[in-house]
Amino acid sequence: MGMREKRTATQLRAMVQVRLDALPEVIEVTRRRPELAPVVGSVERTWVDVQGRNWDLRTVNHAVGLMGPFRAIVDELRGRFDLAE
């Protein structure tokens, strides 16, 4: 399980948002209807789980059809970075 780099909640949220915005389906929706662009919620500190992760991000507005990719992005980053705050 090794040491993970630490990031602030603001940094983690921005990292998720950038990756979500880069998805082809998000680019297309945003091009057609900018007001429907997905917006990620707040990073939450959690109890350290069995994989050593200490944060999660569970909400995203305008995410119809995007929860699978959103969850994959969050889980990948949770495995690489710890919440510093």
pLDDT digit string, tens, across residues 42-67:
999 999 999 999 999 999 999 888 99
| pLDDT tens by residue, 37-47 | 999 999 999 99
Global confidence as pTM: 0.93
- CA dist., res. 80 & res. 32, Å (int): 33
Cβ-contact 82, 1 below 8 angstroms = no
Q: Which pairs with CB-CB distance under 8 Å and at least 24 residues apart come from 34-39?
A: 36/62, 37/62, 38/62, 38/63, 38/66, 38/70
Q: What is the pLDDT of residue 73?
A: 98
Four-point Cα dihedral 67, 73, 78, 79, nearest 10: 120
44-45 and 55-56 beta bridge pairing:
antiparallel
